A = this chain, B = another copy of it.
Amino acid sequence: MATSTLKSSLQELDRRYADIVDLHNANSILGWDQEVIMPPGGSELRAQTLATLAGVIHERTADTGLEKLVTKLHRRRADLTPRQRRAVELVRRRVRKASALPESLARDLALAESRGLEAWRTARERKQFKLFAPALRHMVDLKRQAAELLSDGGPLYDALLDDFEPGATTASVAPLLQQLKELTVPLVQKVVSSRNKVDLKPVKGRFDIEAQRGFGQAVAEAMGIDLGRGRMDLSTHPFCGGVAPGDVRMTSRYDVRDLRSGLYGVIHEAGHGLYEQGLDARRARGPLGGAISMAVHESQSRLWENMVARSRSFWKFWLPRLRRAHPQLKGVSVDAIWRACNEMRPSFIRVEADELTYNLHIILRFEIERDLIEGRIEVQQLPDRWNAGMQELLGVTPKNHSDGVMQDIHWAMGLFGYFPTYSMGNLYAAQFMEAARKRIRGLDGRIARGDLGALREWLRTEIHQHDQVYSAEALVKRVTGKPLGIDAFARHIRKRVDAIYG
C-alpha cells in the first residue's frame, strides 16, 4: 500500500465511521425523546424504531468492507502517526465487538431495552418486583449471550464492563472497590456515632420550583454551560444526553421540600454537560471523537458536584444568590448551608446518597450484577440479596422494592457493567481535583469569588478537548502523574468527614 493508498484508506475510514456516528446520534436523540418527551402511546413504535436503528448500526459496524479496511490499516500501523494509530484501534475495537454478535441479537437487545424500561416503570409504580422480573430475566439472558460471544475466555462480566470502561476488567476494578469498602465502612461508623449532628433546617421546607430552576441554571451557566449548544429540561430520572458538542441535553428534577436534590442534580449533570460541550467539534464525526469512558465522564460531574459545590468556598459566593431566590433563607450562614449540604448518613437511594456512603451503594450493585452475569444468582433472588446487602453494608432495609432493588433504571436498560464506573468516577474526580489545586493558583479563593472559569478552562485544556486521543489510563497519568487509585479520594473524604463530623 503506497502512501496515497494509505491516505485514501484513512479517508474511507473517516467516511464510513462518520455514518456510524450519525446513526448513533439519531439513536441518542430518540432515546432522549423517549425518556423526556414522548407520550405513552408512542412506546411500541419507538421500541421498533430503536431496534431497527440498532440493526442498521450493527450492520454498518460489522460490515466486512469496514473490517477489511481496519485490518489493512492495522497491519500498516507502523506507518501511521500516533493519532491515526489510535483512531484505527478505536474503530477496530468497535468492529470486532459488533462482528462478534449477530444482527438479530443487536436488535433483540434494543427491543429488550425499550420493553425493560416500560416494565420497570410499571413495576416501580406498583412496587411489585414480580412485574419487572420477566423483562429483567430476558435482558439478563440476552446480555449473557452477548458476553459469551464477546468474551476472550475471562469472566463474562469483563465483556460488559469493557463497553463502558474500555480496558477495565473485574481484576482491575474489584480491588479498587474493595479498598474503597475498607476505607468507607469505618468512616460511616465514625459518622453514625459522632456527637456532631448536621442541622438540615437550611435545606428543608418549601422551596418554589421555578426559583430552584432559576438558581440551578445560574450555577450551570457560571460553570460554563452554553444553552445555545444545549438544553435543560425536567425528567423523573436526571441524565445528560443529546449530541456532543452542540446539542447537549441535561435533565433534572426538583423536590419542593428539599433544596439539595435539585441543586446537586443540576450541578452533577452540568458537569457531564461541560465535558460534552468541551469536546472538539472538528472531531465530532470522527473515530477519535467523543468521551473517553464512563468513569472519566463521571469524574467531571462528581468533581463539580462534590469537590466544588459542596465546598465552603462555593457557598461563600452562592449563598447570597440562593437567598435572593428563596427569601426564607435570610439569616442562614455560609457554615450552616455548607454543613447541611454535607450531611452524611446511610440511606436507601443511591442518587440521593452523600459522597461517603455513595460508594457502598455501588459496591452492592457491582457484586450483585457480577454474580448475575456470571450465573451465580438468579433474577428472582435479587430482592433478598439486595436487602441483605443493604443491611450488611449500610445497616438499613428499604421499605419496598421501588426504593430498593428497583430504584435504578440501569438493569432495566441492560446497562450491566456501568455501575462500577460511578465509583471510579469519584476516584478520578478527587485525583483530578488535587492536580487542579496544584496547577491553578488560589483555586479555592477563585471559587469563593464566584470565578469557576479557571477550573473549567483547566478541565477543558487537560481533559475535554482531547476527546478519545488518550485512553483513560494514559490521561490520568498525563494529568495527575499517577495511575488511578484511592489515595486522593481517601484524603478528600477523610478531611471532609473530619470537618463535618470530627
Chain B residues with Cβ under 8 A from A30's Cβ?
Answer: 26, 29-30
Binary B-proximity of A17-61 (CB < 8 A = 1, otherwise 0): 011001101100110010001111111111011011101100000
A123 within 8 Å of B (CB atoms)? no
Chain B residues with Cβ under 8 A from A19's Cβ?
Answer: 52, 55
C-alpha gap A243/B246 in the complex (Å):
26
Our pick among B26, B48, B246 for the contact of A53 (Cβ within 8 Å) is B26
Evaluate contact between B231 and A37: CB separation under 8 angstroms.
yes
C-alpha gap A246/B38 in the complex (Å):
10
- Count of chain copies: 2
Evaluate contact between A229 and B45: CB separation under 8 angstroms.
no
Evaluate contact between B53 and A247: CB separation under 8 angstroms.
no
Of listed A33, A52, A226, residue having the most chain B CB within 10 A = A52
Evaluate contact between B49 and A26: CB separation under 8 angstroms.
yes
Chain B residues with Cβ under 8 A from A56's Cβ?
Answer: 23, 56
Our pick among B41, B246, B284 for the contact of A229 (Cβ within 8 Å) is B41
Evaluate contact between B231 and A41: CB separation under 8 angstroms.
no
Binary B-proximity of A245-283 (CB < 8 A = 1, otherwise 0): 111000000000000000000000000000000000000
A53 nearest CB across to chain B (Å): 6
Evaluate contact between A22 and B42: CB separation under 8 angstroms.
no
Of listed A18, A48, A228, residue having the most chain B CB within 10 A = A48
Chain B residues with Cβ under 8 A from A229's Cβ?
Answer: 39-42
A464 within 8 Å of B (CB atoms)? no
Chain B residues with Cβ under 8 A from A456's Cβ?
Answer: none
Chain A binding surface SS class: helix
A320 nearest CB across to chain B (Å): 30
A404 within 8 Å of B (CB atoms)? no
Evaluate contact between B22 and A52: CB separation under 8 angstroms.
yes
A238 within 8 Å of B (CB atoms)? no
Closest to A107 in B: B19
Interface size on A, residues (CB 8 A): 39
Closest to A34 in B: B29
Evaluate contact between A230 and B55: CB separation under 8 angstroms.
no
A227 within 8 Å of B (CB atoms)? yes
A339 within 8 Å of B (CB atoms)? no
Chain B residues with Cβ under 8 A from A44's Cβ?
Answer: 246
Evaluate contact between B285 and A39: CB separation under 8 angstroms.
no
State whether A246 and B33 are in contact (beta carbons under 8 Å apart), knowing that A22-B52, A53-B22 are contacts in the complex. no
C-alpha gap A38/B30 in the complex (Å):
12
Closest to A42 in B: B247
Of listed A22, A228, A284, residue having the most chain B CB within 10 A = A22
A331 nearest CB across to chain B (Å): 35
C-alpha gap A29/B50 in the complex (Å):
12
Evaluate contact between A228 and B26: CB separation under 8 angstroms.
no
Evaluate contact between A45 and B228: CB separation under 8 angstroms.
no
C-alpha gap A44/B37 in the complex (Å):
22
C-alpha gap A196/B63 in the complex (Å):
72
Evaluate contact between B227 and A39: CB separation under 8 angstroms.
yes
A62 nearest CB across to chain B (Å): 15
C-alpha gap A285/B228 in the complex (Å):
36
A302 nearest CB across to chain B (Å): 25
Evaluate contact between A23 and B52: CB separation under 8 angstroms.
yes
| CB under 8 Å from chain B, chain A span 318-351 | none
A373 nearest CB across to chain B (Å): 30
Evaluate contact between B45 and A284: CB separation under 8 angstroms.
yes
A122 nearest CB across to chain B (Å): 15
C-alpha gap A152/B187 in the complex (Å):
80
C-alpha gap A57/B315 in the complex (Å):
53
Of listed A40, A44, A45, residue having the most chain B CB within 10 A = A45
A236 nearest CB across to chain B (Å): 17
* 9 interchain pairs, CB-CB under 8 A: A18-B48, A19-B55, A22-B49, A22-B51, A29-B49, A37-B37, A39-B231, A41-B245, A45-B243
The 8 residue pairs across chains A and B that have the minimum distance between CB atoms? A42-B247, A41-B229, A41-B246, A22-B52, A22-B49, A25-B49, A42-B246, A19-B52
Besides the known contacts A22-B52, A38-B247, 7 further A-B residue pairs in the complex with CB atoms under 8 A apart: A23-B52, A26-B52, A29-B30, A39-B228, A39-B231, A41-B245, A41-B247
